[in-house]
Structure 1
Amino acid sequence: MEDLPDGLPDHDLRAGLARFGITGPPVYAPVGFGDYHWTVYDRWFTSVSDLTTKPLAGLRQAMETAASLGEQLPFVVAPVRADDGDTVVLLNDRYALSVFPYVTGKSGSFGDPVHAGVSELLAALHRCAPPDGTPVAPIDVPGRAVLTALLDEPGEWCSADARAVLVAHTEVVRGKLAELDRLAGQLTDEQVVTHGEPHAGNVIHTPEGLVLVDWDTVGLAPPERDLWLVGGDSAFYALRWSINDIADFAVSLRDPHEQSRDAERTLHYFTETLKSL
């Protein structure tokens, strides 16, 4: 995210870091899309989640799972624990903080080719025993209800541009939602621990080898949930990715927000993803 989060004063962030024993100055890192990040002394990498879009209970469940996986698998960049043992610390009513070791290396971006070695990492992940409390990855799109409501009644939500592009693609989206339901019925019953988003942007090439970051989507699911992103084939998960993005962007655009670079990017990705269906 390029914009700083609304409603998060610096003293709240520093108080949260102190619970991890971190007292250095946080430096904002405008990377990724969704969460907000700071680095501290190139030793710590922080992730601040907006609880209006990422429920606290699910975030805690995912971070606890990642912490357990990090004890089994060396390529898992797992969250560290605060002084009280928590992997997620509330900063205020809206934001929560997780802290990770800073990893030196090179990553790509979503859409870049994924290193062949990632398949080996995923094979090891899929073979491991699920830690207690591992969440079940949802099959349906979490924001589907909001998206369906907007398809039924666009109303006066957000900008005229966002409304216009959604209205223009209403029937296409309805058709894709029906297709998604049909494809869901063809999924296997196999359930393994999956990362959820093992694309090039979440893979870091380090001097010691490849590592995987960004574990907030970890969950039990068919292995295809990961494998389609590394050259496998899954019509369901490929389509679900696009529909989930559209729903997430619609939720963001529906909520009150100021004109900003992040809002412009959201509208751009919303438009391009709709056009790509």
Structure 2
Amino acid sequence: MRDRPAGLAEAELMVALTEGWGIEPHSVEYLPVGAGSYHWSVLDRRGTASFVKVDDLGVDVAGRDEAFDRLGRSFATALALHRDAGLDFVLAPVATATDAPVMRLTSRYALSVYPMVAGAAGDFGAHRPEDRVEVVDLLAELHEATPIVADTASRADLVLPGRDRLEEALRDLDREWTGGPHAEPARELLSVHGGRVRRWLADFDRRVDQVRNTAAAWVVTHGEPHPGNVMRTPAGVRLIDWDTVQIAPPERDLWMLTPALARMLGDDPAGDADDVIARYTRATGRTVTSAGLALYPLWWRLADIAVFVDELRRPHGTGEDIAASLTYLSGYLESSRD
């Protein structure tokens, strides 16, 4: 996230930190890192550093309250996993003075605060073979904590987010897109690959039908346990970015340990994951289904495509983030291996 959040002044951020967490900022540094959220490093007057995150609740005003509620449930789940389930690897937000996990900063933005942890996360992509055992053990422990957060976490509905707008875009390929400088290149790209996207959507529907009847065996999942969300610290491995946590099929997490992620990114897979999946089954007693492992690469690919297409059709300028959206869309459509 190279561009700063539109319409948000750092002065608003500083006031909210004091009101919500009692943090009196001495210095504030914007961190152009990550994807989907905005981040700052904040040093208070006592020399304590905090990692501050702002989430965009959406351009559409009508959906912001629902988005904030979902975010609150997700962060409350992370807090419960850390505090009640005793999962030290869950890097949860710091609660506000009223014990809330997140604060409404403005109509459009939500604010959360995290401890500043020494360590480094990896990059988005496939896990190295030598790291998979460590990650699958964390996921097994997380999934076993389901009873503690069963009433807190939201449940997956198996509906592809943004599908209606993606299908509208597919129907609108014969007309010029005028949202901004990257709109027409996006339309031309989708025109070339529209048939492929439609096939993916049909395959997605078939996989959903196969997975829906497994709901009784669903578990609490992180949702995005790729290397970019695995932080290695002096105190051990931490899983970060819990806004995607849901009760869902275990394969929602486990597919990222399989060759499917590398193939989706157009890379050559490094080995298979049979031993890692078998290790998970031994630890949890749960059967991992091929239908579930096939569903979630499709979900991820199509959900990202829907986001990028929607951004590129809306009014936009020449910022780095919107240019990156076109690059990522091109990567999915031109590099992914079916």
Task: Give the structure-2-normalised TM-score.
Answer: 0.78
Corresponding residue number in structure 1 for 2:135 = 118
Unaligned runs of 5+ in 2: 259-272, 274-289
Alignment-mate amino acid for residue 107 of structure 1: A
2:66 is aligned with 1:49: no
Post-superposition offset of 1:112: 4.3
Deviates more, 1:147-156 or 1:64-73: 147-156
Matching residue of 1:139: 158
In 2: Cα distance, 1:151 partner to 1:166 partner: 8
Corresponding residue for residue 63 of structure 1? 75
In structure 1, the partner of 2:262 is none
| 1:201-243 superposed Cα distances (whole Å, 9 cap, x missing partner) | 0001111211100000000001000001123561110111110
Structure 2 equivalent of residue 166 of structure 1: 190
Instruction: Measure, in 2, the Cα distance between the counterparts of 1:94 and 1:241.
Output: 25
1:44 Cα offset (Å): 1.2
Cα distance in 2 for residues equivalent to 1:254 and 1:58: 25
Aligned residue pairs total 277
2:4 corresponds to? 4
1:273 aligns with 2:294: no
**Residues 130 and 143 (structure 1 numbering): CA distance in 2 closer, same or farther, change over 3 Å?**
farther
Contact 1:113-1:200 within 8 A present in 2 as well:
yes
Superposition pairs of residues 251-266 of structure 1, within 5 angstroms: 251-266=310-325
Where does the alignment leave 5 or more consecutive residues of structure 1 unmatched? none
Distance between the aligned counterparts of 1:127 and 1:197, measured in 2?
18
Residue 82 of structure 1 corresponds to which residue in structure 2?
A: 96
8 A contact 2:73–2:152 mirrored in 1? yes
Letter in 2 for 1:9: A
Q: How far apart, in 2, do the equivalents of 1:15 and 1:251 lie?
A: 33
Q: Does 1:109 align with 2:111?
A: no
Q: Secondary structure at the match of 2:210?
A: coil
CA distance in 2, matches of 1:173, 1:136: 26
One-letter amino acid of the counterpart of residue 111, structure 2 = L
Measure the CA separation in 1 of the matches of 2:225 and 2:77.
16
Secondary structure at the residue paired with 1:149? helix
> Structure 2: which amino acid aligns with 1:170?
G
SS in 2 for 1:46: strand
Runs of 4+ in 1 over 4 A off after TM superposition: none
* 1:96 equivalent among 110, 132, 136: 110
Task: Tell me how far apart the structure 1 counterparts of residues 98 and 194 of structure 2 sit (CA, whole Å).
Answer: 49
Specify whether residues 16 and 238 from structure 1 end up closer, same or farther in structure 2 by C-alpha distance, changes over 3 A only.
Answer: same
Partner of 2:21: helix, strand, or coil? coil
User: Retained in 1: the 8 A contact 2:93–2:115?
Assistant: yes
TM-score, normalised relative to structure 1: 0.95
Q: Deviations over 1:247-275 (max 9, x none)?
A: 11112222222211111111100111122
Higher-Rg member (1/2): 2
